[in-house]
């Protein structure tokens, strides 16, 4: 999600959407518009089955405790929440169980995992780096934001190990294994500097590289702050507000997806899409930069295909808190953009192929836009599952870059027909034969996909999955 709800510097209207939601919790549901499912009704294709749901549990069960990203280790799913994180046992996908919850407020609390270590992103200004911190303005020199590190060798009892402060916080982070097997790196994405923020000064055309010694995670530290865009800077932006056309000025990156086996990464950097060479883990460098000032408002995230010859970039029009899946917005804004990677080495280029957007109109009270997804490991095909907030989840095929098509979908109706309550699927990922979705308000959902076009994926097993750290599957 582009904006944070607790951090004062975010530019979009999500906090206002949450405020509206607080006034509507007791409202009697009305009928949805024709063709749109009613409140909490389900619309789905025949080839997808909803197996389970575990609602958010206290103290994560309030409307502003958003469920966020997911990481997987063995038979467990770890789901971030603006108030901390939850570890689920998913050995039986149709009967997931909560193993533990850790209360540790600090949006967005995006997660990644490496062995016995869990990494947590904090992108809201806090009084200190502890899990007992309180929110305080980013104008305060003593405010803290960055990365927290936990030992999860005992999944029932995670232990806080260390923290690393990073400039402008950590909106998201990307885990990149070191080549020596002794270290892991975190590429920290953050953005939106302001002169009055002591720890987030403009210009902020950089990412933070955090080095974590696996055997001594308490020694984790920032080892580089490479400037991404150089003297020329990133996209200057086009002023405007949702639903009108605008392009967000680049002042950092929102998300980076790494493909370590290929020494390649793709950055979604607000007004720019970029390719990095990450052969030197501590010194990533840009080899290609593209912009789309016609249809992209906010470059949000990226997904490589398995061959590393394509990248799907998402446009989070409206910052994740607005109804961007409407006839008025159309089929190419708030959508995915598929780019083919051509050339080799430093001569690689990103060539636009097409857009993809879910082919269903959503209600005016449903926040809906392209968001987090992952590949489904089908040999010889490029297929992914993706979250669209209250647009639900979509399975789609981009093997033909110019002609993507949807294969399956599942969605709940709006949370309300009276006011927009921010909700829906934040992340939808495929892991060891099933789809797992982190719903902002409804908790963890589990799905089975029954489709001959994706059946071969069930034979691909993984011990660990961080979607922003892509590994090559062989089927």
| 34 — pLDDT class (breaks 50, 70, 90) | low
Separation CA 40–CA 63 (nearest Å) = 16
**The token pair that represents 364 in the structure block:** 């005016």
The residue-averaged pLDDT of 112-122 equals 98
The pLDDT value recorded for residue 456 is 97
The pLDDT value recorded for residue 193 is 97
Question: pLDDT for 124-143, tens place per residue?
Answer: 999 999 999 999 999 999 99
The pLDDT value recorded for residue 33 is 59
Q: Tell me which residue range forms the domain holding 330.
A: 14-465
| 344 — pLDDT class (breaks 50, 70, 90) | very high
In a domain, 47, yes or no: yes
Top-confidence residue, 206 or 11 = 206
The residue-averaged pLDDT of 289-309 equals 98
Residue with tokens 């069960």: 61
Asked if residue 318 lies in contact with residue 364, where contact means CB atoms within 8 angstroms, the answer is no
| 1 — pLDDT class (breaks 50, 70, 90) | confident
3-state secondary structure of 296: coil
The pLDDT value recorded for residue 25 is 32
Separation CA 413–CA 430 (nearest Å) = 23
In a domain, 472, yes or no: no
In a domain, 41, yes or no: yes
Q: Does 377 score more than 50 pLDDT?
A: yes
The residue-averaged pLDDT of 356-369 equals 97
3-state secondary structure of 457: helix
Please, which contacts does 207-210 make with residues 24 or more away whose CB atoms are closer than 8 Å?
207/252, 207/253, 207/256, 207/267, 207/284, 208/166, 208/167, 208/170, 209/185, 209/281, 209/282, 209/284, 210/147, 210/164, 210/166, 210/173, 210/185, 210/186
The residue-averaged pLDDT of 223-247 equals 94
| 2 — pLDDT class (breaks 50, 70, 90) | low
Question: pLDDT for 37-78, tens place per residue?
Answer: 999 899 999 999 999 999 999 999 999 999 999 999 999 999
Q: How far separated are the first and last CA of the chain, in Å rounded?
A: 32
Question: pLDDT for 302-331, tens place per residue?
Answer: 999 999 999 999 999 999 999 999 999 999
In a domain, 423, yes or no: yes
Q: Does 376 score more than 80 pLDDT?
A: yes
- DSSP run (H or E) holding 14: helix 14-22
Total tally of structural domains belonging to the chain:
1
In a domain, 73, yes or no: yes
The pLDDT value recorded for residue 230 is 79
How do beta strands 285-290 and 117-126 pair? Answer: unpaired
Percent of the chain past pLDDT 90, that is, above it, reads 91
Question: pLDDT for 413-441, tens place per residue?
Answer: 999 999 999 999 999 999 999 999 999 99
Question: pLDDT for 80-111, tens place per residue?
Answer: 999 999 999 999 999 999 999 999 999 999 99
Nearest to 91, CA basis, from 63, 52, 65: 52
In a domain, 9, yes or no: no
In a domain, 1, yes or no: no
pTM of the model: 0.94
Q: Does 446 score more than 90 pLDDT?
A: yes
| 6 — pLDDT class (breaks 50, 70, 90) | very low
- Helix then strand then coil, in percent of the chain rounded to 5, is 5, 40, 55
In a domain, 6, yes or no: no
The pLDDT value recorded for residue 232 is 83
Q: Does 190 score more than 60 pLDDT?
A: yes
Q: Does 19 score more than 80 pLDDT?
A: no
| 231 — pLDDT class (breaks 50, 70, 90) | confident
What CATH number does residue 353 fall under?
A: 2.130.10.10
């Amino acid at each position: 999600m582009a904006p944070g709800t607790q951090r004062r510097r975010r530019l979009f209207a999500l906090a206002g959407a949450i405020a509206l939601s607080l006034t509507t919790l007791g409202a009697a549901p009305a009928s949805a518009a024709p063709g749109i499912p009613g409140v909490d009704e389900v619309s789905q294709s025949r080839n997808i089955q909803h197996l389970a749901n575990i609602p958010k549990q206290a103290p994560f069960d309030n409307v502003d405790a958003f469920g966020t990203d997911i990481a997987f280790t063995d038979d467990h799913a770890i789901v971030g929440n603006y108030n901390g994180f939850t570890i689920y046992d998913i050995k039986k996908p149709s009967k997931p169980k909560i193993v533990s919850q850790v209360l540790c407020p600090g949006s967005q609390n995006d997660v990644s995992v490496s062995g016995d270590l869990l990494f947590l992103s904090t992108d809201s200004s806090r009084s200190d780096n502890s899990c007992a911190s309180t929110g305080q303005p980013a104008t305060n020199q003593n405010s803290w934001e960055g990365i927290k590190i936990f030992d999860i060798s005992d999944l029932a009892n995670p232990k806080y190990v260390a923290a690393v402060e990073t400039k402008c916080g950590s909106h998201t982070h990307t885990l990149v294994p070191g080549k020596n097997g002794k270290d892991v790196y975190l590429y920290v994405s953050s953005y939106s500097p302001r002169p009055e923020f002591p720890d987030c000064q403009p210009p902020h055309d950089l990412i933070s590289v955090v080095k974590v010694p696996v055997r001594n995670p308490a020694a984790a530290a920032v080892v580089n702050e490479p400037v991404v865009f150089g003297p020329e800077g990133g996209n200057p932006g086009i002023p405007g507000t949702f639903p009108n056309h605008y392009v967000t000025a680049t002042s950092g990156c929102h998300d980076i997806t790494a493909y370590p086996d290929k020494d390649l990464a793709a950055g979604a950097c607000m007004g720019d899409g970029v390719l990095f060479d990450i052969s030197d883990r501590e010194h990533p460098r840009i080899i290609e930069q593209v912009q789309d000032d016609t249809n992209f408002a906010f470059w949000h995230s990226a997904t490589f295909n398995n061959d590393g010859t394509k990248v799907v970039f998402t446009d989070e029009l409206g910052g994740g808190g607005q109804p961007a899946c409407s006839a008025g917005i159309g089929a190419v804004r708030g959508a995915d953009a598929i780019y083919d990677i051509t050339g080799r080495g430093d001569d690689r280029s990103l060539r636009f192929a097409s857009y993809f957007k879910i082919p269903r109109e959503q209600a005016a009270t449903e926040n809906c836009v392209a968001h987090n997804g992952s590949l489904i490991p089908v040999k010889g095909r490029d297929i992914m599952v993706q979250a669209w907030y209250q647009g639900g989840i979509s399975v789609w095929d981009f093997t033909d870059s110019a002609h993507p098509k949807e294969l399956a979908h599942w969605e709940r109706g709006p949370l309300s027909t009276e006011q927009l309550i921010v909700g829906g699927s934040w992340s939808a990922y495929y892991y060891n034969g099933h789809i797992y979705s982190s719903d902002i308000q409804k908790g963890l959902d589990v799905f089975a996909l029954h489709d001959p076009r994706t059946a071969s994926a069930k034979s691909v097993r993984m011990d660990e999955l961080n979607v922003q750290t892509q590994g090559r599957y062989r089927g």
